């Protein structure tokens, strides 16, 4: 795998999003524990490439994706696309920005308005941004449907008449209608059957090539990410624990969490001899992250010591191009 | 060959849909066996009928709109489950055959403690006293690896994480030491690291208790790691059935083949990891309108005339005793047509 | 009643039957429509409403007398039902049937319009509160709490008492203005849950402003509770109007409304029960029909009943 070539299209630095905990006393009492959903995340995505953001539930990957698009307003950090500061934009600038960055959601059933036909769903962004209307819009809608592999006749259908895979294609078409440069794909294939998954992944790869798109691919399925990502970033409790080119990460992971995660993924090969590392305990709640290194209570690294429970490790380069947040990343597990 | 623990033959479960959409033939002639102590994996995508099959075994299908058609035959330890009186059936459910489901939060009653729910099965089937049943519950919590079981026994489901709730479900299912555990997508809703814990637990418990497990899932990786034999379902039928290793090494049915080829793999070599995934064209047909002939023919790369007209029966593929590896495909009669894909 | 009146009456019944049959045919193509008609009272309720509406529309054809006409105050007051006066006459010698039929226009009209006002305000307020949340939600909902705590009939009575001669349109507006609080609560609850749905996030991601999101995406999906609320709301308004009129604070005489017909007939209840009873029966019948239809609608539009 070649290292990232060319300039970064999207740069994220120190992104933070905390959700205040519930307050008692009708909203006037003292705030309870803060949920640190995203706790200082940084990465850059090269134009035309895919960054896979992986992690288990509650790690903050979805929140990160939405915060970049400002669907959720971040509390701190810096996000730039093509050099332009996303977080500093006002309402009008933000609307223009929406044309350059779009999102595809996980749930093909919930992400389409059940009362709108496919045609109406696809024509709406054209109307919002005054890209086209009337027969011009009709033509564009038909072209979009064809581009995602759907017969233009589907324009008259309602979401409940379509299958999961077809709905997801409509969601992709909708995101493409404004001609974006950057797509956040939030678990786009997790809710689909295996055979449909492959179709949609192929479609996404084709679209990336044809339209020179840049992807942030959020997923929990490491095998899927291996297939589509150039770079991979692993999240745990709101922080990045490892970031590396895909080939390096899968061949030689450095962080104990990444290693455990990879070993836990079941592989469709009954003859595979694998050293399965089974982590003890549950994923801790992001409202009460452990002190020091967030992973230390479950960490199976033999060199784990008192330093891990007091000093949070910084994300540092432990091999060429590969960053990990572990005090003992250089020592083998 | 010992007597099978569970024998399912020609199971047909149909659902009446309202207003002219026709009958949904969700399970349409399914046959398989589960030997004592073995793990049988039932694999398929949504709409193939695997969940309906598992619910049919315990007769948990709501009677309208569903019904198990006459001619279906389900035998457990020699007794026909479909002809049992309700009282006798209840004596088997939770006792000899237990079931765990995909969503632990909705399968556990939120207003009862975890201990109460585990103890319930013991009280009903083994007629234990409340106190004895509570002790049993604590034992079970320990067995499934929940820390501090004496405390946890009085907790409510909402106080526990997803992985723990699934362990509680397993504890509930195993309290009477059933001979057969039906696990319907037990790890699909869980994180990967928790999934590994649960699979390891099931493995250990199976060895300790000597029970058979019927594991229903869509995840081929899970099946490869835990099942002794695999049944592949498509469109309400069994399309291939074999021991795990031969199935993965040499899948004979084009659907199995396509499925295995279209899964992105963690163990794929880096060079082939990127690049197009093989995908099965088209989509799963609706249960109200299965295609004529072979139900997979509209999506099959090897299709020829016979496939469109005649539905193939389960044919023996050899490789050991008859019935070890069966495939529902005409290619077995004309292997020359299995031309390599481009 | 003349032959023409009877024919017109029959005609109205036929029209109502035809309307229900048409609705049934159109609507049962969808699962929701079939669920609606599965209730035995739904079709009956629909027929009653259609019949009353046709009668109201065809009032001049069906009624032998103008509703204000006092036919012969000396001899024909409190006359029992007969061939000429099908439902008898009231204490002012007016034909009960004619007044009933013309009164349907006013009673139903008030019901429909006041409900429209209430539902529109309630849906708008609820949607805004539910969508924007935080301080907008808090302030608006406290207002709603105050509104819900007010006893509606007392407020109406106060307003009517303070106003010298209240015009009918103003009365209707007032009824609407005091009746939107419950709907707003309902709509707010639906909007709170709907705004978390991904298609709303998708619309925002596409650059839609709050107006478009609320009116194009959220409210059409809140239609179900609004419709049910409306159906049941008409009945409430009609009962309220009847109550106000009975107390002399509603529709001013001599214009007929079912409420003030009861008020007029009440003093002579012992000797001429028909003058008050028939309008009372009419109100009961229509309110029951509205409740039946509302219940069936609630069941039919329940999204949880949607099978795959």
Do A198 and B278 lie within an 8 Å CB cutoff? yes
Angstroms from A124 CA to nearest CA on chain C = 9
Residue closest to C274 by CA, chosen among C261, C284, C286, C283 = C261
Q: For chain A, what is the mean pLDDT? A: 88
For residue C138, which residues of chain A lie inside 8 Å, CB to CB? 27
Write the DSSP assignment of A131-176 as a string of letters: S--HHHHHHHHHHHHHHTT--GGGGG--GGGS-HHHHHHHHHHHHH
Q: Give the separation between CA C18 and CA C16, rounded to whole angstroms.
A: 5
Q: How confident is the model at residue C304 (pLDDT cuts 50, 70, 90)?
A: low
Residues 6+ apart with CB under 8 A from A185: A103, A104, A204, A215, A216, A217, A218
The number of angstroms, rounded, from the C-alpha of C8 to the middle of its chain's C-alpha atoms is: 24
The number of angstroms, rounded, from the C-alpha of C100 to the middle of its chain's C-alpha atoms is: 16
Rg (CA), chain A: 21
Total residues belonging to chain A: 333
For residue A124, which residues of chain C lie inside 8 Å, CB to CB? 203, 206, 208, 216
| Residue with more model confidence, A245 or B269 | A245
Do B266 and A265 lie within an 8 Å CB cutoff? yes
B283 touches chain A (CB under 8 A): yes
- Would you state the pLDDT for residue B312? 92
B269 touches chain A (CB under 8 A): no
- Would you state the pLDDT for residue B269? 66
Q: How confident is the model at residue A186 (pLDDT cuts 50, 70, 90)?
A: very high
Residue closest to B4 by CA, chosen among B52, B50, B38 = B38
Q: Are B320 and B296 in contact (CB under 8 A)?
A: no
Mutation for testing the C interface, residue in B19, B21, B284 having most C CBs under 10 Å: B19
Q: Which of A164-173, A267-276, B267-276, B282-291 has the lowest mean pLDDT?
A: B267-276
Q: Are C194 and C200 in contact (CB under 8 A)?
A: yes
Domains of chain C: 3-66+85-305 (1.10.3720.10)
Helices (H), A216-279: 222-228, 246-251, 256-264
Write the DSSP assignment of A54-105 as a string of letters: E--TTSSHHHHHHHHTTSS--SEEEEEETTEESTT--HHHHHHHTTTEEEE-
Give the H/E segment covering residue C78: none
Q: Give the separation between CA A312 and CA A320, rounded to whole angstroms.
A: 22
- Would you state the pLDDT for residue A3? 43
Q: Give the separation between CA B120 and CA B93, rounded to whole angstroms.
A: 13
Helices (H), chain C: 3-27, 31-37, 40-57, 59-62, 96-132, 134-149, 152-162, 168-177, 181-194, 198-206, 210-212, 219-221, 223-246, 258-265, 274-300
Q: How confident is the model at residue C307 (pLDDT cuts 50, 70, 90)?
A: very low
Residue closest to B286 by CA, chosen among A162, C31, A194 = A162
Q: Give the separation between CA A265 and CA A257, rounded to whole angstroms.
A: 13
Residues 6+ apart with CB under 8 A from B270: A1, A247, A250, A251
Residues 6+ apart with CB under 8 A from B64: B16
In this complex, the chains that touch A, judged by 3 or more CB pairs closer than 8 A, are B, C
Q: Give the separation between CA A201 and CA A219, rounded to whole angstroms.
A: 12
- Would you state the pLDDT for residue A227? 87
> Which pLDDT tens digits describe chain B residue by residue (342 residues)?
578 899 999 999 999 887 667 888 999 999 999 999 999 999 998 889 999 999 999 888 888 888 898 889 999 998 899 888 888 888 888 889 999 988 777 888 889 999 999 998 888 888 888 899 999 999 999 988 888 899 889 999 888 888 888 899 999 999 888 999 999 998 888 888 888 888 989 988 888 889 999 999 988 999 998 899 999 999 999 999 999 999 999 999 999 999 998 888 887 766 555 677 888 888 888 888 899 999 999 999 998 899 999 999 999 987 778 778 999 999 988 888 888 655
C34 touches chain B (CB under 8 A): yes
Do C206 and A178 lie within an 8 Å CB cutoff? yes
Residue closest to A282 by CA, chosen among B195, B100, B184, B140 = B195
Helix axes of A164-176 and A118-128: crossing angle, nearest 10 degrees: 20
pLDDT value at A185 more than 90: yes
Tell me the backbone φ, ψ of residue B26, rounded to 5 degrees: -60, -45
User: Does the model's ipTM exceed the 0.85 cut?
Assistant: no
- Would you state the pLDDT for residue A142? 94
A247 touches chain B (CB under 8 A): yes
Q: Mean of the pLDDT values across residues A91-110?
A: 88
Sheet with B97-100, edge to edge strand ranges: B97-100, B180-184, B212-217, B39-43, B229-234, B237-243, B326-327, B315-316
Q: Using CB atoms, pick whichever of A166, A202, A282 lies closest to residue B277.
A: A202
Q: What is the pTM of this model?
A: 0.84
Q: How confident is the model at residue A1 (pLDDT cuts 50, 70, 90)?
A: very low
Burial class (CB in 10 A: 0-12, 13-18, 19+), B220: buried
Write the DSSP assignment of A286-327 as a string of letters: TTSPPSSSTTGGG---TT--HHHHHSPPP-EEEETTEEE--T
Q: Using CB atoms, pick whichever of B196, B220, B262 lies closest to residue A264.
A: B196
Q: Using CB atoms, pick whichever of A201, A247, A270 lies closest to residue B277.
A: A201
Q: Are B174 and B122 in contact (CB under 8 A)?
A: no
The segment with the largest mean pLDDT, out of A43-52, A303-312, B143-152, B155-164, is A43-52
Q: Are C102 and C59 in contact (CB under 8 A)?
A: yes
DSSP character for B154? T
Q: Which of A233-247, B94-108, C70-84 has the lowest mean pLDDT?
A: C70-84
DSSP-assigned beta bridge partners for residue B42: B216, B231
Q: Give the separation between CA B110 and CA A117, rounded to whole angstroms.
A: 39
- Which stretches does DSSP call E strand in chain B? 6-16, 23-34, 39-43, 66-68, 73-76, 79-80, 97-100, 180-184, 212-217, 229-234, 237-243, 315-316, 326-327
- Would you state the pLDDT for residue C83? 77
DSSP character for C255? S
Q: Are C228 and C144 in contact (CB under 8 A)?
A: no
pLDDT value at A22 more than 70: no
Write the DSSP assignment of C175-228 as a string of letters: HHHTS-HHHHHHHHHHHHHHTTSHHHHHHHHHT--HHHIIIIIIHHHTHHHHHH
- Would you state the pLDDT for residue A2? 38
Tell me the backbone φ, ψ of residue B46, rounded to 5 degrees: -70, 140
Angstroms from A224 CA to nearest CA on chain B = 5
Q: Give the number of C-alpha atoms closer than 13 A to the C-alpha of residue B290, restricted to the C-beta side.
A: 22
For residue B18, which residues of chain C lie inside 8 Å, CB to CB? 31, 34
The helix/strand/coil state of C266 is: helix
Report the alpha-carbon angle A297-A299-A304, nearest 5: 95
Residue closest to B178 by CA, chosen among B102, B126, B101 = B126
DSSP character for A27? G
- Would you state the pLDDT for residue B138? 93
Angstroms from B16 CA to nearest CA on chain A = 19
pLDDT value at C221 more than 80: yes
pLDDT value at C269 more than 60: yes
Residues 6+ apart with CB under 8 A from A176: A102, A144, A147, A148, A207, A211
Pairing of strands A239-245, A316-319: unpaired
Residue closest to A293 by CA, chosen among B155, A301, B234 = A301
Beta carbon pairs, B and C, within 8 Å = 5
Residue C143 Cα distances to C128, C137, C149, C187, angstroms: 14, 10, 10, 15
Q: Are C92 and C268 in contact (CB under 8 A)?
A: no
The helix/strand/coil state of A215 is: strand
Write the DSSP assignment of B281-304 as a string of letters: -S-PPPTTSPPSSSTTGGG-TT--
């Amino acid at each position: 795998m070649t290292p990232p070539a060319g300039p970064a299209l999207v740069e994220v630095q120190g992104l933070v999003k905390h959700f205040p905990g519930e307050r008692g006393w009708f909203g006037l009492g003292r705030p309870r524990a803060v949920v640190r959903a995203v706790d200082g995340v940084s990465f850059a995505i090269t134009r035309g490439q895919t960054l896979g953001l992986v992690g288990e539930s509650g790690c903050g990957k979805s929140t990160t994706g939405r915060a970049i698009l400002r669907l959720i307003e971040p509390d701190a950090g810096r996000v730039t696309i093509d050099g332009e500061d996303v977080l500093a934009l006002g309402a009008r600038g933000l609307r223009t920005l929406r044309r350059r960055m779009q999102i595809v959601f996980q749930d093909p059933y919930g992400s389409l308005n059940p009362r709108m036909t496919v045609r109406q769903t696809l024509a709406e962004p054209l109307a919002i941004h005054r890209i086209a209307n009337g027969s011009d819009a009709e033509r564009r809608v038909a072209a979009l449907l064809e581009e995602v592999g759907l017969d233009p006749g589907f324009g008259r259908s309602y979401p409940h008449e379509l299958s999961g895979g077809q709905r997801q294609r409509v969601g992709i078409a909708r995101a493409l209608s404004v001609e974006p440069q950057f797509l956040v794909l939030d678990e786009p294939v997790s809710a689909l059957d295996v055979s449909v998954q492959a179709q949609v992944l192929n479609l996404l790869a084709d679209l990336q090539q044809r339209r020179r798109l840049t992807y942030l691919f959020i997923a929990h399925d490491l095998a899927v990410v291996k297939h589509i990502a150039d770079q991979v970033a692993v999240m745990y409790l709101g922080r990045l624990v490892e970031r590396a080119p895909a080939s390096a990460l899968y061949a030689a992971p450095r962080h104990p969490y990444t290693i455990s995660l990879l070993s836990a993924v079941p592989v469709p090969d009954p003859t595979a001899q694998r050293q399965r590392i089974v982590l003890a305990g549950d994923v801790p709640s992001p409202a009460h992250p452990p002190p020091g290194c967030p992973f230390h209570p479950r960490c199976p690294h033999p060199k784990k010591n008192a330093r891990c429970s007091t000093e949070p490790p910084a994300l540092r380069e432990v091999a060429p191009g590969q960053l990990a947040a572990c005090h003992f990343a250089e020592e083998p597990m | 060959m010992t007597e099978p623990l569970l024998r399912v033959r020609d199971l047909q479960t149909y659902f009446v849909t309202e207003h002219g959409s026709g009958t949904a033939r969700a399970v349409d002639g399914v046959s398989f066996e589960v030997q004592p102590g073995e793990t049988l994996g039932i694999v398929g995508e949504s709409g193939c009928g695997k969940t309906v099959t598992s619910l049919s075994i315990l007769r948990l299908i709501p009677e309208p709109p569903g019904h198990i058609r006459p001619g279906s035959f389900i035998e457990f330890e020699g007794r026909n489950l479909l002809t049992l009186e309700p009282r006798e059936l209840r004596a088997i459910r939770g006792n000899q055959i237990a079931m765990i489901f995909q969503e632990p939060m909705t399968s556990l009653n939120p207003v009862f403690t975890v201990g109460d729910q585990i103890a319930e099965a013991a009280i009903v089937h083994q007629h234990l006293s409340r106190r004895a049943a509570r002790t049993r519950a604590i034992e079970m919590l320990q067995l499934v690896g929940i820390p501090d079981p004496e405390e946890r026994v009085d907790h409510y489901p909402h106080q526990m994480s997803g992985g723990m709730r699934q362990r509680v479900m397993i504890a509930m299912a195993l309290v009477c030491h059933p001979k057969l555990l039906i696990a319907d997508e037990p790890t699909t809703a869980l994180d990967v690291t928790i999934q590994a814990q649960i699979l390891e637990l099931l493995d250990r418990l199976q060895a300790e208790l000597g029970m058979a497990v019927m594991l229903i899932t869509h995840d081929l990786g899970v099946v490869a790691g835990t099942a002794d034999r695999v049944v592949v379902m498509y469109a309400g039928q069994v399309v291939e059935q074999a021991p795990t290793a031969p199935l993965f090494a040499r899948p004979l049915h084009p659907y199995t083949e396509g499925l295995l080829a279209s899964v992105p793999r963690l163990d794929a070599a880096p060079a082939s990891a990127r690049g197009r995934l093989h995908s099965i064209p088209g989509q799963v047909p609706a249960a109200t309108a299965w295609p004529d002939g072979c139900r997979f023919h509209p999506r099959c790369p090897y299709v020829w005339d016979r496939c469109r007209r005649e539905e193939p029966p389960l044919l023996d593929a050899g490789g050991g005793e008859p019935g070890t590896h069966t495939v529902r495909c005409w290619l077995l009669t004309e292997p020359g047509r299995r031309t390599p894909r481009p | 009643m003349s032959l023409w009146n009877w024919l017109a009456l029959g005609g109205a019944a036929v029209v109502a039957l035809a309307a229900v049959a048409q609705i049934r045919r159109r609507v049962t193509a969808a699962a929701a429509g079939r669920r609606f008609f599965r209730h035995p009272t739904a079709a009956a309720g629909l027929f009653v409403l259609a019949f009353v509406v046709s009668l109201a529309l065809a009032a001049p054809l069906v009624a032998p007398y103008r509703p204000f006409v006092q036919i012969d105050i000396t001899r024909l007051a409190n006359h029992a039902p007969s061939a000429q006066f099908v439902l008898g006459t009231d204490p002012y010698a007016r034909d009960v049937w004619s007044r009933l039929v013309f009164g349907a226009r006013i009673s139903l009209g008030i019901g429909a319009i006041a409900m429209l006002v209430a539902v529109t305000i309630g849906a708008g307020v609820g949607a805004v509160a539910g969508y924007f949340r935080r301080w907008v939600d808090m302030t608006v909902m406290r207002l709603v709490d105050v509104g819900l705590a007010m006893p509606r009939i007392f407020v109406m009575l106060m307003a009517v008492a303070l106003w010298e001669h209240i015009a009918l349109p103003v009365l209707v507006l007032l009824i609407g203005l005091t009746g939107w609080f419950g709907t707003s609560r309902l709509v707010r609850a639906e909007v709170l849950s709907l705004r978390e749905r991904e298609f709303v996030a998708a619309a925002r991601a596409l650059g839609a402003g709050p107006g478009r999101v609320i009116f194009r995406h959220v409210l059409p999906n809140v239609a179900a509770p609004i419709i049910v609320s409306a159906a049941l709301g008409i009945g409430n308004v009609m009962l309220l109007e009847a109550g106000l009129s009975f107390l002399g604070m509603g529709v001013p005489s001599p214009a007929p409304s079912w409420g003030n017909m009861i008020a007029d007939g009440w003093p002579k209840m012992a000797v001429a029960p028909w003058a008050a009873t028939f309008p009372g029966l009419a109100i009961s019948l229509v309110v029951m029909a509205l409740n039946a239809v509302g219940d069936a609608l609630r069941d039919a539009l329940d999204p949880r009943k949607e099978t795959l």
